[in-house]
Structures are given as structure tokens and as C-alpha cells.
Structure 1
Amino acid sequence: MDFREILTIIIVLAAVFAYVNHRFIKLPPTIGIMALSLISSLLIALTGNSRSILSEKAIELVSSVDFNDLLMNFMLSFLLFAGSIHVDASKLKAQLGPVALLALLGTVVSTLLVGGGMWYLFSFFGASIPLVYCLLFGALISPTDPVAVLGILKDAKIPESLELKISGESLFNDGVGVVLFITISEVARSTTGHFSWGETLLLFSREAIGGLVFGALLGYIGYLAIRSIDDYKVEVLITIALVLGGYLLADKLHVSGPLAMVVAGIITGNKVKHEAMSDVTRDYLGKFWELVDEILNAVLFLLIGLEILTIKTDSIIFVIGLLTIPLVLAIRWISVFFPLLLLRKWMLFEKNVVTILTWGGLRGGISVALALSLTKDMHRDEFTLITYVVVVFSILVQGLSIGNLAKKLQ
């Protein structure tokens, strides 16, 4: 299949599933599209033995798409920028303490605990997988996915302050999770086998702090450029250039592109919008990025559902995947509870905040993409299947119930 065929089929399927969901099923868009995609994949998989044309073409389509490259090197930059551009910086500032602590400390604690837990779980089933690879899994499954979270929060009726905690954490811990994953990957790929805490912390700091600083620089450059003109078409084009050029340059500079996009998006959605744009530009910019967000969300969750066709199944690993669900949820509770406990002396929190943050910590496409980026010697097949089990449960079960749970607890 060539690029034109792949793109056409994906867009057509996303549009059909979005229409069917909106017209008949009426689930939140991201969940509805993924559910329909997942059901279609399972039906196609059941006909796989017959080597039907439909089955062959579907598998060829999914195999032709490099999910990790498409999401991590293209879609993620747009999705993070589009999500953060709508964040109110003044309101986020009031939640900065819990957001920063959850995104940094919470993600690091979760990575270590999940990694250790998976190492014991594999050992219990007689599978010998080195701890460093289990820590890699901890890094890819620990961050809550901003794409899944932001899409579902639109339909969940929860207090604004709590929504800001969930969405703010998910935007930043995504970048932290990717940085942790890259850092541990470097250690795992080390040919000397030498591990240095100093070098590891230096690599982590360069990626994370560098990404934040670079994102602020991008946002300010955009501010200066947009302030000097008044043409909504050019101004929208400048924001697209910031995303594409900024993400590519961040990769070349070896700083975190995801964190840079979040910071640049927040600056653009606040300082640039309010100080450098006319009402006309503000309206067009908001609608443009909202449309980009909706379309890419539809494509992303369609691909997550279809990706099951390429995942190798194994009954033992599937059972481990099912056991990983309560393990990840329990560790999510721990990684939320202790950071918030540190802040209770200075801040008041909403009722049942830990429970809601735990259940609202959805995993999504970023976890799947990072799992697919693993090499064979890093036990890619095992971790991809386990990741997929956790992500499907997270989006379909947690995503569908978080609104009702929050309403009951509040």
C-alpha cells in the first residue's frame, strides 16, 4: 500500500466510525471510535484463518503504519499543543504545586514501583526478564495520556479545580514519562554495562529542563512574530510552524519535544492570545486547533483499535497483562497519595481527590507507541501485549466510568 491509500482508508474509517458513534452509540468520541475499531479488529481477526481478502487487506494496512513514528514524531506535537493551548494559565497556576509534584515525583515513583512489581510478576510465572526492561515498561505505562484524558474530560462533569489537576498532570507527566523512557533506554542499550547515577540524572535533567526552557523560547518567538502583524491566516500558519519546526529542532537539540510543546502551547493560548491577537484571529486560531485536535484524536483512537491485528498473543502473557491492571492501579494510587500528602499542610484538596485522580489516570496511545518502539531483545512482544491490555481497560472501563464515579464521590 502506498501513502495515499493508507491515508485515505484511515480518514474514511475514522469518519465512518465517528458518524456511527455520534448518530447511534453516543459514547464520548474517543471511546466510541476506539470501541468500534477494536470490535472491527476482533471480527477481522476471527476471519484471519480463512485468509479472506478483508483480513489480508486490514493486516496489510495496519502493518504499513509505523504507529510509534506517526504518533511520537508527528501527531503528538500537534495533540499536545492543541490540548495545552486551551489551558487557562491563571487557573493552572493555582494548581501548580500538585500538578508539578504529580507529574515529576509521581511518575518517577510509579516507574520504579511498576518496574519492580513486573519483575516479581514475571518471576512468579517463571519468565526471566531483566529488571531494566521491567523499568522500561514502568516508564511507558506510568504517565497518564493527555490525549485520552483531555478528550474524555470534556464529557465528564467534575469540578474545575479537579479537572485542572488531571489535565495539567497528564500534559506534563507525558513529557516526563517519555524522558524517563529515553533515559532508561540509554542505560539498557549501554554496551559497557556501566551504570552511573550522575550520567543518568544529567541526561534526564537535560531532556526535561531543556524541553521546558526551549518551549518557553518557542512561545516567546511566536509572541514576537504574531504581535508584529494582523492577518489571521499568517498567524495560524506561524503556530503550525512553531509546532512542526519546534518539535523537529527539539529532537536535534536532544531536549524533550513533548514538554516544549506543552509550554509553547500554554504561552500561545494565554499571553499570545490575549496580548498579540485580534478578536478575529483569536476566533480562527481557537477553531483551527480544536478541529486539528478532534481529527487527530479520531485517527489516533482508530489506530489503537486496529493495532490489535499486529500484536502477538500469548495466553500466559495475557494473564500477566490482566494482573498488571490492578498492579498499575494500586501503584497509581500510591503515586498520587504521597505527593498530595506532602502538600496537605499548605493546600486544601477536593473530597476523594486521590480516588478520582487514580481512576482518572488513563493510559492511551503514548504507552502503546513506546511499547512498539522496544526492540526484540527488550521483550517487545510481551510488553506490547501487556500494554495493550492495560490501555484497552483504561480507556473503555475507566474512561466510561470516571464521570459517574466523580459525580457519586463528589
Structure 2
Amino acid sequence: MDYFLIITILVFLAATFGYINVRFLKLPTTIGLMVITIVFTLGVFAISYFDTTLLDAEKYIITQIDFKTVLLDIMLSFLLFAGALHTNFNQLKIQRWPVLAFSTVGVLTSTFLVGIVMYLILQLLNLNIDFIYCLLFGALISPTDPIAVLGILKKAGVPKKLETKIVGESLFNDGVGVVVFLTIFQIASLGEGGEVNPMDIVVLFSQEVLGGIALGLFLGWITYRLMKSIDDYDIEVILTLAAVMGGTAVAQHFHLSAPLAMVTAGLLVGNDTVRHSAMSQTTEIYVDKFWELIDILLNTILFVLIGMEMLVLTLKGSYVIAGLIAIPVILICRYSSLLLPITFFKKKLNFVPKTNLIMTWGGLRGGISIALALGLTSEMHRDLFLVITYIVVVFSIIVQGLTVGALVKKVATETEVD
């Protein structure tokens, strides 16, 4: 089975499941696709008792796809650029300091809190895991997933000011979270005998983060200048595509953060000033529609893949228990990690009531966490942390995703009453 056929099957499944969701379930796309794919995979498991053909085919597809590489090195750049392109730049500019604090201080605080608490819990479950590996799990599960967040918040009725905070945080903390994960991963890979040079860690972190943002600014500026010099919507759409593909290749070659580069470039190209001075009305429509289509297509394929990843899980009883316990632990740690930044900026920026509660429940985990968990080695207890991550992600997208709208309405009602 070649790659073209695998992609064809994935697109066919995404189209079929998407149709079923829109026609019958009417759930948000990300939630509907995940639910249907999980049910489909469970159905394949049931059928395998009589005939293993379907199960063997699904397993083959999953084993042929390096989920971590496909998502982090290819799909993520397109998805983040598309998300940033349609983010309200003016609102984000107003909320830039809390967004920066959430995506840096918040991620780092959450990483350590989750790492410490999960280390203690795993010890109680007789799972003797080194603290550095628990910290690694904290790093991969702490960033909220912009792909999941963007799709669900659009239908949740979240106030614009708060939506900007959650979306902006998700766009940036994704890039920061990946860098934090890679830094801790490098330390963990050294083992007990290796020496950790603090300056090397600082240089790596600075190179990835600052280098990624600088590359994004350069790409956005070049794209803007090129688009301003012509008036041809076909070529201008292709210019944005070239910026994403070329920028990702450059970032990977020079070990810069491609996610942060794409977010920065997308925000720059998508802001109103650039739009009005570089794009005609026709170009603006075509650029927006092109990237909306890319966003929808890759999202549908991604969440079909997430559902199919059930096949690579090692479902031991203790692993499942650890995953279920991890759900409230991660929510509490996220709530705690946001307390300081929210308290600091609350009065200055007139925050929506119960911002922390909504940001905690609306901060969804998704494919990025699963991709990072799949990148762990067996020495880092990959099977254990993959099961925990999968349980947290499924709960996050399905349960939190379906109820965040109700939470927002409840908070709004209570505020009006008060």
C-alpha cells in the first residue's frame, strides 16, 4: 500500500465521517470526527473476532504513518498559519502581555506542577517512574492545542476578549511548549551519567524561541512586500503557501521553532493594516477561503488519525487508572498556573468574570500532546505516558469541548444576575 493510497483512504474516511457528523450528529467538527473514528475503530475491533481484514488494514495505515513527524513537521505549520491568519490582531495586541504570560510562565509553571504531582501519584500506584520523565510528561501535556481550541471556541459563544486570550495563548504556548519539551527531552536523553550544561539549555531555548519569532517576522514582511507589489490573487495565494512551506523548511534546517515562526508570520500577514494595503478585496477573499479550506481538510484528517491511534495503545489497568487520575490533576494544575498572570493583569485589562475557570475548561489538549508522547523512547515509559495522554486528550476534546459553551452561558447568566 503506497502513500497515495493511504492518503486517499484517510481523505475518504474524513469525508465520510464528516458527512455523518454534519448530517446526523451535528457536533463541532473536531469532536464529531473523533467520536465517530473511535466508534469506528471499536467496531473494527469487534469485527476482528470474525474477520481481521479491516483491523489489519487499519493497523497497517497507522504503522506506515509517523504521526509525530506528520503533525509536528508538516501539518502543524499549515494549521498554525491558518489559525493566526484569522485571529483578531487588534484584540491580540491589546491582550499581548497576558497572552505572553500565559504562554510562557503559565506553561512552565504547569509543566512543573504536573510533573511533581504525577510523580507522587505514579509512586502510589507502584509505577516507579523517574521524576525527569514525569516532568517530560508535564511538558507535553501542558500546552493547549490551538487546532482543537480554534474549532470549538467558534461555536461556544465565548466573549471576544476572552476568546482572544485563549486562542492567542494556544497559538503561542504550542510553540513554547514544544521547545520546553525538546529541552527536557534532551536532558532526559543524557541519562544519569550525562552532564547538563545550563548555558546549552539557555542557548537552545533562546535559539528556538527568539529565532522562530524573528524568522516569522521576516517571512511575514517579505510576503507583505511581495503581495503589495502585485495585484493577482492566484499568485498572492501561492506566495502565502510558499511562505509557510519555505519557512518551515528553513526553521527545521536551522533548528528554529517552526510553530512560532508560522504563528508570527500568520499574524503579520493577517492583520488589518497589511490586508488593506497589500490585498485587494478579491485577493483577501481568496486568501481567506484558501486557508480556511486547508485548515478544514487537515483538521479532519488529523482528528481521524487521533481516533485511529487507539490501535497503538497498551491498555494495562494501572495505566488507565493513572490516565483517569491525571484528568483532574491536569485541570487543577492549569488553574493554578494561570492564577498569578490573571491576578496581575485582571484590573488593568478588565477581565471577563471567572476568566480562570473558563480558560482552564476551554484550554483543550489535542494532537500535539499525542504526537509528543509518541516521540518518547521506551526508556521514558512511552507506553504509560501515551495511554495517559490519550485519555486526557479524549476527555478534553469530547467532554470539555462539548460543555465549554454551557459553562460560558452559565457564567454570563450569573454575571447578569449579580
Q: 2:366 aligns with which of 360, 364, 375?
A: 364
- C-alpha distance 51-136 of structure 1, shift in aligned 2 (>3 A): farther
Distance (Å, rounded) in 2 between the aligned partners of 1:46 and 1:179? 40
Residue 40 in structure 1 maps to residue 40 in structure 2 = yes
* Alpha-carbon offset, residue 311 of structure 1: 1.5
Q: Partner of 1:113 in structure 2?
A: 113
Q: Which residue of 2 aligns with 1:255?
A: 256
Correspondence for 1:403: 405
The alignment's C-alpha RMSD in Å is 1.2
- Residue 174 of structure 1: aligned partner: 174
Match of 1:306 in 2: 308
Q: Is the 8 Å Cα contact of residues 334 and 360 (structure 2) preserved in structure 1?
A: yes
The match for 1:316 is 318
Which of 338, 341, 356 is residue 339 of structure 1 equivalent to? 341
Q: Distance in 2 between matches of 1:302 and 1:261?
A: 24
Q: Hey, what does 1:183 align to over in structure 2?
A: 183
Would the aligned equivalents of 1:368 and 1:387 in 2 still touch at CA under 8 Å? yes
Q: CA deviation at 1:52?
A: 1.9
1:393 matched residue in structure 2: 395
2:213 equivalent in structure 1: 212
* Aligned-partner residue type, residue 141 of structure 2: I
- Looking at structure 2, the residues matched to 253 and 4 of structure 1 have their Cα atoms a distance apart, in angstroms, of 30
CA deviation string 1:325-375 (max 9, x = no partner): 000000010011121112235332111111000000100000000101111
2:415 is aligned to: none
SS in 1 for 2:190: coil
- AA aligned to 1:338 is L
Alignment of structure 1 residues 60-75 onto 2, 5 Å: 60-75=60-75
Distance in 1 of aligned mates of 2:46 and 2:142: 32
CA offset digits 1:263-303 (Å, max 9, x no partner)? 00001111432211111111100110011111111111111
Match of 2:416 in 1: none
Deviations for 1:4-35, whole angstroms, at most 9, x for unmatched residues? Answer: 11011100000000001001110011110111
Instruction: Say if 2:88 and 2:164, in contact at 8 Å, map to a contact too.
Output: no
Aligned pairs for 1:133-152 (under 5 A) are: 133-152=133-152
Which whole-Å CA distance do the structure 2 matches of 1:45 and 1:339 have between them?
Answer: 46
Q: Secondary structure at the match of 1:189?
A: helix
Paired residue type of 1:181? F
Task: Please list the CA deviations of residues 72-91 of structure 1 after superposition, one character each: whole Å capped at 9, or x if unmatched.
Answer: 11110000000000112111
The equivalent residue for 2:198 is 197
Question: Does structure 2 retain, via aligned residues, the 8 Å contact 1:45–1:309?
Answer: no
Alignment of structure 1 residues 121-132 onto 2, 5 Å = 121-132=121-132
Q: Provide the rounded CA distance (Å) in 2 between the counterparts of 1:34 and 1:106.
A: 28
- My pick for the range that moved more, 185-194 or 278-287, is 185-194
| C-alpha displacement of 1:403 | 0.6
Q: Which residue number corresponds to residue 296 of structure 2?
A: 294
Name the counterpart of 2:11: 11
Measured in 2, the distance between the counterparts of 1:344 and 1:25 equals: 39
Pairwise CA distance, 1:51? 4.9
Q: TM-score, normalised by structure 2?
A: 0.96
2:329 maps to a residue whose letter is L
Aligned residue for 1:195, secondary structure, equals: coil
Greater Cα shift, 187-196 or 224-233: 187-196
Separation in 1 of the partners of 2:156 and 2:348? Answer: 28
Helix, strand or coil for the counterpart of 2:144?
Answer: coil
Could you tell me whether the CA contact under 8 Å between 1:226 and 1:238 is conserved in 2?
yes
User: What runs of 5+ residues in structure 2 fail to find an aligned partner?
Assistant: 413-418
Following TM superposition, by how much is the alpha carbon of 1:160 offset from its aligned partner in structure 2, in angstroms?
A: 0.6
Residue 140 of structure 2 contacts residue 178 of structure 2 at CA under 8 Å; is this kept in 1?
A: yes
Amino acid at match of 1:10: L
CA apart distance, 1:233: 0.8
Q: Is 1:22 equivalent to 2:22 in the alignment? A: yes
Tell me which amino acid in the other structure corresponds to 1:17.
Answer: F
Query: Given that residues 119 and 134 in structure 2 are in contact (C-alpha distance below 8 angstroms), is that contact kept between their aligned partners in structure 1?
Result: yes
Report the TM-score, using the length of structure 1 for normalisation: 0.98
Q: Tell me if the contact between 1:226 and 1:272 (Cα under 8 Å) persists in the aligned partners.
A: no
State the 1:49 CA deviation. 4.4
- Residues 90-148 of structure 1: CA distance to partner in whole angstroms, max 9, x if unpaired? 11111112111101100000011111111111111111211111111111100000000
Mapped partners of 1:351, 1:399: distance in 2: 20
Identity %: 48
* Mapped partners of 2:254, 2:3: distance in 1: 29
Q: How many Å separate the matches in 2 of 1:112 and 1:197?
A: 17
